[in-house]
Amino acid sequence: MEPLSNKRKVLDFKPLTLLERSYLPEIAKGLSITMKHFFKKPVTISYPEQKREFSENFRGQHSLKRDEEGKERCTACGLCALSCPAEAITMTAAERQPGEENLYREEKYAAVYEINMLRCIFCGLCEEACPKEAIYLDGDIVPTDFLRKDFIYGKDKLVEPPLNQ
């Protein structure tokens, strides 16, 4: 058959010489490469004790922001959940009661706000959609866990800590 390309090579196996049969020079060559790497700077780091610097546009775990006075910015408008391509966000809205003005910025707030971190693809569309600048993906890498239910992050994990702490 005519070859399609001229890349075909015909191998010829010659019998090994005595030196080659002893394998010693090849072992020495290989070990020298190994030894050379002992003195090189390692390319890996020992995460989690040591962490690399994130790039500026890195998107990690979500956080729900507070405003200058420590009130929650989120008003449960649902635009983050609407824009979410993975449908990871759910929320339940509630009406702010008199006396809670120092807790929530608008008359409506998110009573329940949950993000399923297994569904989230960290695309950042929720951040873009938010009209109140309430959600940012500025956290760390989301930690691992054993149970699926523990990946559903509620307000306890997402909301920023209050200002005075």
Q: At closest approach, how far in Å is the CB of 106 from another protein?
A: 5
CA–CA gap between residue 124 and residue 83 (Å, rounded): 10
Cβ neighbours of residue 155 under 8 Å, at least 6 residues apart? 64, 110, 112, 113
Does residue 146 have a known ligand-binding role?
Answer: no
Q: What Å distances lie between residue 41 and 38, 45, 100, CA to CA?
A: 8, 10, 56
Nearer to another protein, 30 or 85 (CB): 85
**H helices present in 8-160, as ranges:** 18-22, 24-38, 79-83, 125-129, 155-158
Establish whether 80 is an annotated binding residue.
yes
Among 19, 24, 112, 163, binds another protein (CB under 8 A): 112
Establish if 81 lies at the interface with another protein (CB under 8 A).
Answer: yes
- The residues of the shown chain that bind another protein, judged by CB under 8 A, are 75-79, 81-82, 87, 90, 93-95, 106-108, 112, 114, 116, 131-132, 147-149, 152
Please state the residue numbers annotated as binding site for [4Fe-4S] cluster: 74, 77, 80, 84, 120, 123, 126, 130
